[in-house]
């Protein structure tokens, strides 16, 4: 009979169909990233959850606008998937954490930032992941440290109380040598500030004040572009903001 071979169904074009769909999704995602149409990516993800996986693969070049748009798009897609495909999202988180380990055989260059975007969608539901992200700060490969601080800052913007047990990492970044981690830490401090004691506030202000002489410049993705930020200027602005809060 047509379509059968010794009683077994024949699906001769299934692999080609699968590869074809993947290629179409990749091309669509790239097009939407280039035009910054993240809503279109979310709509695509509602039909094909594999969009999340493909987005993550597109998010590892943090030196490009498309790479950072992909990181942000992951968060938007996660907001959709958490409603009706939570287990798939959890599996993506597991793979991202795995990519940070030596055993993975690869390096998840943007994994901390991506994890921050996903967890920030619902920090309570992903509360068990927050300590795992924080733990990455202490591994020997310190290239991940700015990303970890970025992730904690994103999460703190939604649920600061869940980041408070790990705020020592933010303080460490403030006094550490990496200028990008310093700027991310300065911004993260603003989200946990109201939960800090007066004693700790004085210590934090002292740490930030010590950075006002740091004239190094870094580039940060914000407002859909890369902004040149001077550590000292960021510190001065933060001190003014914190003074207003109290």
110-152 confidence digits (pLDDT tens):
999 999 999 999 999 999 999 999 999 998 778 999 999 999 9
Instruction: Work out whether strand 217-222 and strand 8-9 pair parallel, antiparallel, or are unpaired.
Output: unpaired
Of residues 126 and 12, more confidently modeled: 126
pLDDT at 243: 92
pTM, full prediction: 0.90
pLDDT at 117: 98
Give the H/E segment covering residue 8: strand 8-9
Does residue 203 have a pLDDT over 90?
Answer: yes
* Residue 171 near residue 205 (C-beta atoms within 8 A): no
Of the candidate ranges 36-50, 132-146, 161-175, the one whose mean pLDDT is the lowest: 132-146
pLDDT at 3: 39
Question: In the chain, what percentage of residues exceed pLDDT 70?
Answer: 90
């Amino acid at each position: 009979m047509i379509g059968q071979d010794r009683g077994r169904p024949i699906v001769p074009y299934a692999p080609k169909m699968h590869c074809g769909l993947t290629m179409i999704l990749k091309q669509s995602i790239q097009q939407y990233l280039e035009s910054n149409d993240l809503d279109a990516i979310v709509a695509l993800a509602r039909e094909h959850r594999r969009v999340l996986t493909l987005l993550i693969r597109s998010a590892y070049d943090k030196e490009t606008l498309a790479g950072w748009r992909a990181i942000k798009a992951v968060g938007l897609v996660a907001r959709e998937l958490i409603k009706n495909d939570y287990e798939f999202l959890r599996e993506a988180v597991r793979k991202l954490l795995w990519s940070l380990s030596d055993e993975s055989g690869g390096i998840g260059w943007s994994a901390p930032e991506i994890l921050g975007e996903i967890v920030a969608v619902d920090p309570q539901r992903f509360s068990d992941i927050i300590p795992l992200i924080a733990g990455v700060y202490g591994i020997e490969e310190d290239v991940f440290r700015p990303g970890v601080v970025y992730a904690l800052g994103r999460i703190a913007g939604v649920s600061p109380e869940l980041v408070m047990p790990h705020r020592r990492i933010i303080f460490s970044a403030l006094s550490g040598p990496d200028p990008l981690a310093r700027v991310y830490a300065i911004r993260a401090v603003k989200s946990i500030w109201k939960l800090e004691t007066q004693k700790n506030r004085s210590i934090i202000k002292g740490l930030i004040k010590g950075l006002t002489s740091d004239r190094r410049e870094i580039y940060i993705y914000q407002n859909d572009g890369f902004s040149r930020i001077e550590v000292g200027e960021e510190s001065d602005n933060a001190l003014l903001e914190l003074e207003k809060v109290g």
